Chain A
Amino acid sequence: MTGTDVGILGAGPAGMAAAIRAHEAGARIIVMDDNPGAGGQIWRGGERTQTSSQARQWLRRFQGIEQFTLANCRVVSAEANPLKLLVETGAGAEEIVARSLILATGAREIFLPFPGWTLPGVMGVGGLQAMAKSGLPIEGKTIVVAGSGPLLLAVAAYLKGHGAEVKLIAEQAPRSALTRFGVKLLRTPGKLAQAASLQLSLLGIPYLQSCWIERAEGDGHLEAVVMRRDGKTWTVACDYAAVAYGLYPNAEMAALLGCRMSGAVVAVDELQRTSIENIYCAGECTGIGGVDLSIVEGEIAGYAATGNLHRARKLSGRRKRAQAFADALNTAFALRAELKQLPRADTFVCRCEDVTFARLQSVRSFRVAKLHTRCGMGPCQGRVCGPAADFLFGWRTESVRPPVFPARLGTLITKQSEEEEITASQ
Chain B
Amino acid sequence: MPDTVEISVNGRTMRVPAGTSVASAVFAAGLTQFRTSVSGEPRAPLCGMGICFECRVTIDNQPHCRSCQIPVQPGMRISTT
A-B interaction: yes
Q: Which residues of A contact B (CB under 8 A)?
A: 34-36, 41, 72, 108-109, 111, 118-124, 126-131, 134-137, 220-221, 351-354, 378-380, 383-384, 406
**Please, how many angstroms separate the alpha-carbon atoms of A41 and B50 in the complex?**
11
Q: Is the interface of A mostly helix, strand, loop or mixed?
A: loop
A131 contact from B16, B48, B51, Cβ within 8 A: B48
User: Is A220 touching B37 in the complex (CB atoms < 8 A)?
Assistant: no
User: Is B46 touching A124 in the complex (CB atoms < 8 A)?
Assistant: yes
A residues near B39, Cβ cutoff 8 Å: 354
User: Is B48 touching A129 in the complex (CB atoms < 8 A)?
Assistant: yes
User: Is A351 touching B54 in the complex (CB atoms < 8 A)?
Assistant: yes
A137 contact from B27, B52, B54, Cβ within 8 A: B27
A residues near B38, Cβ cutoff 8 Å: 352-354
**Please, how many angstroms separate the alpha-carbon atoms of A353 and B38 in the complex?**
6
Q: Which residues of B contact A (CB under 8 A)?
A: 16-17, 19-21, 23-25, 27-28, 32-34, 37-39, 41-54, 56, 64, 68-71
User: Is B23 touching A134 in the complex (CB atoms < 8 A)?
Assistant: yes
Q: Find the A residue at minimum CB distance from B55.
A: A131
Q: Find the B residue at minimum CB distance from A111.
A: B46
Return A264 CB to nearest CB of chain B, in Å.
15
User: Is A34 touching B19 in the complex (CB atoms < 8 A)?
Assistant: no
A residues near B49, Cβ cutoff 8 Å: 35, 41, 108, 124, 126-127, 130
User: Is A130 touching B71 in the complex (CB atoms < 8 A)?
Assistant: no
- Top 3 A-B residue pairs of the complex, sorted by shortest distance between their CB atoms: A135-B20, A120-B44, A127-B48
User: Is A122 touching B71 in the complex (CB atoms < 8 A)?
Assistant: no
22 contacts between A and B (CB under 8 A): A34-B69, A41-B49, A108-B47, A109-B47, A120-B32, A123-B46, A124-B46, A124-B48, A126-B49, A127-B49, A130-B48, A130-B68, A135-B17, A135-B25, A136-B28, A137-B24, A220-B33, A351-B52, A352-B53, A354-B37, A354-B39, A384-B46
**Please, how many angstroms separate the alpha-carbon atoms of A407 and B39 in the complex?**
24
**Please, how many angstroms separate the alpha-carbon atoms of A93 and B32 in the complex?**
33
